[in-house]
Amino acid sequence: MRVVSVQREDFDASAQARALTQGRSDVGAVVTFVGLCRDEGGKLAALELEHYPGMAEAEIHRVVEEAETRWPLAGLVAIHRFGAIRPGEQIVMVATASSHRAAAFAAAEFLMDYLKTRAPFWKRVVLKDGTSEGWVEAKDVDEAATERWE
């Protein structure tokens, strides 16, 4: 099972994770990660995420295929939202299923590092006072995490 979705609407992380094991007895591990929008000390109204339709999905499919060649996966989920995401709301989900935990953990971390730094999304901070702090760049620590996979 492979789910790749770029969507405006929220998702049910529990249902997505359960679907990875539905009818499967060969799965010994499911690793899930859900990224949430932080309130940045109470000053954030929303994080606005934009993407280029078609390109974002194609790039995520490409990196998903890379994960599937690196690790023995029984399935995976990669969902990334766009639009105005408010503090506390879900932004992204990665879930991986494998016979063993090491592969599931590594693949989930690989996918999340990619989505955080390389996926074609543009993020803009909107403050409660209506102003914007502009576009958000990937942090050095996130870039370093991604470079280890190259």
Angle at 29 between CA 25 and CA 33, to 5 degrees: 135
What pLDDT, on a 0 to 100 scale, did the predictor assign at position 79?
A: 98
What pLDDT, on a 0 to 100 scale, did the predictor assign at position 146?
A: 80
What pLDDT, on a 0 to 100 scale, did the predictor assign at position 106?
A: 98
Gap between the Cα atoms of 93 and 75, Å rounded: 14
What pLDDT, on a 0 to 100 scale, did the predictor assign at position 145?
A: 76
What pLDDT, on a 0 to 100 scale, did the predictor assign at position 148?
A: 87
What pLDDT, on a 0 to 100 scale, did the predictor assign at position 142?
A: 76
Across the beta sheet with 83-85, what order do the strands follow? Answer: 83-85, 44-51, 121-127, 132-135
CATH 3.40.50.720 fits 2-147, yes or no: no
What pLDDT, on a 0 to 100 scale, did the predictor assign at position 133?
A: 84
Report the relative pairing of strands 2-7 and 132-135 from DSSP bridges. Answer: unpaired
Identify the segments of the chain with pLDDT beneath 50.
none
What pLDDT, on a 0 to 100 scale, did the predictor assign at position 96?
A: 98
- Helices 101-117 and 55-70 meet at what angle, rounded to 10? 150
What pLDDT, on a 0 to 100 scale, did the predictor assign at position 144?
A: 80
What pLDDT, on a 0 to 100 scale, did the predictor assign at position 70?
A: 98
SS3 labels along the chain: CEEEEEECCCCCHHHHHHHCCCCCCCCCEEEEEEEECCCCCCCEEEEEEEECCCHHHHHHHHHHHHHHHHCCEEEEEEEEECEEECCCCEEEEEEEEECCHHHHHHHHHHHHHHHHHCCCEEEEEEECCCCEEEECCCCHHHHHHHHCCC
What pLDDT, on a 0 to 100 scale, did the predictor assign at position 147?
A: 85
What pLDDT, on a 0 to 100 scale, did the predictor assign at position 134?
A: 82
